[in-house]
Amino acid sequence: MAGTSLPSSLLSQGPSLFFSSSNQISEAKCRIVITSEKRCLVRCFAKKKISFVDQILDYIEGGPKLRKWYGAPELLPKDGSLSGDDEEIEAEEEEDLDGDKDAVFVTDGDSDLGQMIILQLIVKGSRVKALVKDKRKALEAFGAYVELTTGDASDERFLRKAFRGVGAIISPTEGFLSNVKSLRGVKHAVLLSQLSVYESSGGIQAMMNNKAKKLAEGDEKAVIASNVPYTIIRTGKLENSPGGNQGFNFSSGAAAKGSISKEDAARICVEALSVVPPTGLIFEVSNGEEVVSDWEGQLMKVMQRQSEKK
């Protein structure tokens, strides 16, 4: 960083023991000072040495605690033990289980659907956390309106941090929920599923969709087995057409036969947060003729229709 000097604390890392007959004390953090008639004994301890790149990242991102908040890799001592900061983070995670959970976590925030969902949540004034692959691009797109994180969904430690303060999850693409081992603390999971589209395809298209179909099946099974209230929205084929120009079709078979604007699909995912089902809600939707002005009422109607079929 041109024109900016690093803090002295970054240049004095590494355990050391100093004996000095003068009054000068090194920049390492001093813990014990013993003075005798002849000389002054100064015993100093410093944090274990980390790489220069990680020192720079600590400085840029505001220190180790903020590195953890932003999802940067953890810096563990060589012996694998937790530092004081790690222990503090663990304690905060435990406290968070009973704290306020007002954030909405959006998976695959780099995708078209993920970005549309994030934008609609911002407009609603929601607190948003998002899993992205490229933090720099996401930061340029959303600024301080979104708390960004990167990591592996199968890493339980990463997810515990990512889910801090999260009350609801919206997963707009296949492959996330099937990798998550636990949704501990989450109160509502919303999954956009293309399973009906994949199941209705045939020939070469069916072969091309085979991998996505398995991921979609895995996601639905995972969210149903999670013991978290869930909403599975099975949409028709996703189109890049503008949203808000058509109505909707919530009838059985609508997803397999119809299509829907990505923008409209994103809106339904966001609106689904307003109705948390007692256990689970699964419905199909595509663009159609039905005009919806009250989404909460519409979702309650769909839920009622589902309970009557059981």
Residue 33 included in any domain: no
Residue 191 included in any domain: yes
- From the list 193, 178, 177, the residue with the least C-alpha distance to 255 is 193
Residue 198 included in any domain: yes
Q: What mean pLDDT is predicted for residues 195-213?
A: 90
- Angle at which helices 262-271 and 295-309 pack, to 10 degrees? 80
Q: Quick one: tokens of 239?
A: 């189109």
Q: Which domain holds residue 293?
A: 98-308
Using pLDDT thresholds of 50, 70 and 90, give the confidence band for residue 76: very low
Quote the percentage of the chain above a pLDDT of 90.
56
Using pLDDT thresholds of 50, 70 and 90, give the confidence band for residue 184: confident
Using pLDDT thresholds of 50, 70 and 90, give the confidence band for residue 66: very low
Residue 225 included in any domain: yes
Residue 13 included in any domain: no
3-state secondary structure of 201: coil
Q: What is the tally of structural domains in the chain?
A: 1
Q: Report the CATH number at residue 283.
A: 3.40.50.720
Question: What pTM value is reported for the model?
Answer: 0.69
Task: Extract long-range pairs of 81-85: CB within 8 Å, 24+ residues apart.
Answer: 83/47
Average pLDDT, the chain: 78
- From the list 276, 277, 262, 271, the residue with the least C-alpha distance to 293 is 271
pLDDT: which is higher, 2 or 165: 165
CA dist list (Å): 196 to 93, 289, 305: 38, 20, 19
Using pLDDT thresholds of 50, 70 and 90, give the confidence band for residue 307: confident
